[in-house]
Structure 1
């Protein structure tokens, strides 16, 4: 039963704070990471540390994360700051992008021109060859979020996941057509927070409290009984001036607080140079 102004009684809802992992060595070059196990770079580690500092003044009751290294590395300092252990949930892993793994979109247009053009025109209906079906990603990621909320009724949980999997899950939960996920939710910035209030009634959609907010500007948690459902912050998604309409969904670089994103290495022709293999990357092979 709802209280005044449509607010659920205190303790009846669970609050989820969704966070995309910190930046990796592939994301700074706009390469699809997907199911490949790519570590954080120095910027990503700084973002994880900043998130942990933010968490100290925004306490949560639990921390959950994807099993991929970049998500676990982002969640670890947060869990330590809160005196918790991160719950690793395999269903939170990122979408497998098939042949796009480890490549930039420019490289894909050269190597797989038909597949790249098909993805640009219809990313959910015509994903890259070998990719996990987006509908399947949405189903498993949303199932994971619902399960986490169900295990922590009335609590606050910080969840570290991935750009595409989280966006697809959000679309499925909020009633947004999956084929529009790249239009409605262009990207989630690294280490920015998106907050949901999840009703105890599974028939009700979650309330979107904020979207894509940097940790230096994220609002403090408000007592659940004091926030009307109508008090939803406008989406704080920055303009995509530097991102082409077809830019990789899980490969957008985010700069650390107060700095500029690192430039991708380029050859004399102006094309991105191939990625330098990193000993700690486990790349998906097909």
Structure 2
């Protein structure tokens, strides 16, 4: 069997909006002091891994996290807009309580079928999956038998995991993806194995 390609799927460090429970989407929110510390801990956790490439969403919170991780490997970050979070449209900047109050019907419809229902002014999870997974496959194809890191967002990483494991989008809410967490997928000739999920042990130091 050929050597596997190991993909470290990393959620960006925390932002003030994460802490407040606000939907960020495409809003370019920076890391909070806690998020910056999480990024440093991620760098320390991964510094001994032979990572050959680092990719990230071009949004600041992911880019900042990725740059800190890449420093330990002497790498520059490959920024891709296709790795952005779901576009939450008119809901960006709001908490779920505010959304439920201001958009009650749209909120109910979206909760019932987030795969196909678009957020007002935004995307559906199916649209997110189509753009993200296309980019993911291209990234993996460039690095056969290597280790690489992808730094992105909760929604972005969830759709990658669901598609790679053949779960379907109904599996979106079956697992946690915390800020600063590491999930590992190993790719063997186009087939994926989940080797680690939502590892946050490095954040407990």
**Shorter-chain TM-score category?**
over 0.9
Between structures 1 and 2, the one with greater helix share: 2
Report 1:40-189 matches (<5 A).
40-182=31-173, 184-185=174-175, 187-189=176-178
Contact 2:114–2:124 (CA<8 Å) still a contact in 1?
no
Instruction: Give the TM-score normalised by structure 1.
Output: 0.68
In the alignment, which of 178, 181, 206 is matched to residue 192 of structure 2? 206
CA distance in 2, matches of 1:73, 1:30: 20
Deviation at 1:181, TM superposition (A): 1.1
Aligned residues: 205
1:109 CA displacement: 1.2
User: Do the aligned partners of 1:15 and 1:198 also contact (CA within 8 Å) in 2?
Assistant: yes
For each residue in 1:25-49, what CA deviation from the matched residue of structure 2 results, as whole angstroms up to 9, or x when unmatched? 1110000001111101011000001
- CA-to-aligned-CA distance 1:123-143 (integer Å, 9 cap, x gap): 223342122121121122111
Paired residue for 2:204, among 234, 239, 257? 257
TM-superposed deviation, 1:215: 4.6
Post-superposition offset of 1:155: 0.4
What's the RMSD between the two structures over aligned residues? 1.5
Larger relative strand fraction? 2
Deviation at 1:180, TM superposition (A): 3.3
Maintained 8 Å contact 1:65/1:75: yes
**Which structure would you say has the larger Rg?**
1
TM-score by length of 2: 0.94
Partner of 2:20: 29
Q: Structure 1 residue 21: deviation in Å? A: 0.4
Gaps of at least 5 residues in structure 1 are: 1-7, 217-255, 259-286
> Following TM superposition, by how much is the alpha carbon of 1:51 offset from its aligned partner in structure 2, in angstroms?
0.5
